[in-house]
Amino acid sequence: MIDRHGFLGLVAGRELGGLDETEALHLDRHLAGCPACAAESRGFVDTLAALALAVPARRPPESLHGSIMTAIRAGKPAPAPLPSRFPAGASGKGSSWLHRVVRPWSQPLAVGLAAALVIVSVGAWRGVVDLRAELDQQRLAVAGSQGRLALQGAAMAVALDPQHVSAVLAPDPVAPEASALVVYRPGTDQAYLIADHLPATPEGKVYQLWYADGAGVHPLATAAFDGRGTLVVPFGVDLGGKAAAMVTLESVPGARGTPGPQVVFGNLPTL
């Protein structure tokens, strides 16, 4: 009498092309006359299909493939002859035909299926790890995009305020194609650098904002930049009454004393 594992092994053999035409025909006829077996078969095949779609395509080592095939060939005896039709009363899972078909398949197919499941499991785990890493990267990218959009929106709000002040910063040789603007609202810390055509910051370098007054120059925020789009960085201080603003290129984490190479510079309007 065939058990459930033997029956699923036969179905797997059918899906993997391991049955010959006669065996496959007999199995199909049995499934057509046995709703319980047919439902079991469909569920098993659907599960295999879902696994195949969920796991990224990965090629196992040739040595593993060879050992699986060797195990299957070594354990598979000559198939028993099959009747041309089902014997009377062979419509259920306990039919003698199914028992004869599965017995020679059970051991070698179990070896093959077990090895295949190991491959799928390892591939699935690696796929999950890769997917989690990819999702983490996407979350960081989305968070970065949201942060940039928020800064751009805040800078735009200041630029549209009738009380705002703006100043153009001239480029220096470090970034000859750069165009930069400072917009701020005097009496508040709402002050932003808006710059286009800045080159990407080299590895270990950042752009740093500064302002100047009668007491000297003062370091502010730093920002790494990938060279794409517009760089918007908040000054974080009230620029009202300050003399000048500039951006320099500094080593991480930024300068605290003498400024490094100047990127853009401009005087601020006298209020």
**Angle between helix 35-54 and helix 4-15 axes, rounded to 10 deg:** 60
In which residue are the tokens 């199995």 written? 27
- For residue 178, what pLDDT is reported? 94
Q: Which two tokens stand for residue 264?
A: 């853009």
d(CA 17, CA 10): 11
DSSP H or E stretch at residue 175: none
d(CA 19, CA 27): 9
Beta bridge partner(s), residue 212: 217, 244
pLDDT tens digits, 155-165: 888 888 888 99
Q: Which of 171, 209, 167 is nearest to 186 (CA)?
A: 167
What's 258's DSSP letter? Answer: S
Q: Which of 259, 245, 251, 169 is nearest to 206 (CA)?
A: 251
- For the whole model, what pTM was predicted? 0.49
Half-sphere exposure of 240 (CA within 13 A, CB side): 10
pLDDT tens digits, 42-97: 766 665 554 444 444 455 566 666 666 676 666 655 555 544 444 444 444 444 44
- For residue 114, what pLDDT is reported? 60
Q: Which residues make Cβ contacts (< 8 Å) with residue 95, sequence separation at least 6?
A: 2, 30, 86, 87, 89
Using the predicted structure, report yes or no on whether residue 270 has a pLDDT greater than 70.
Answer: yes
**Angle between helix 96-160 and helix 35-54 axes, rounded to 10 deg:** 40
Q: Predicted confidence band at 29 (pLDDT cuts at 50, 70, 90)?
A: confident
d(CA 143, CA 207): 21
pLDDT tens digits, 93-109: 444 444 444 444 455 55
For the chain, the average pLDDT equals: 75
Half-sphere exposure of 69 (CA within 13 A, CB side): 7
Domain limits of the chain? 4-132, 162-267
Q: Which of 15, 17, 34, 16 is nearest to 98 (CA)?
A: 34
Q: Which residues make Cβ contacts (< 8 Å) with residue 125, sequence separation at least 6?
A: none
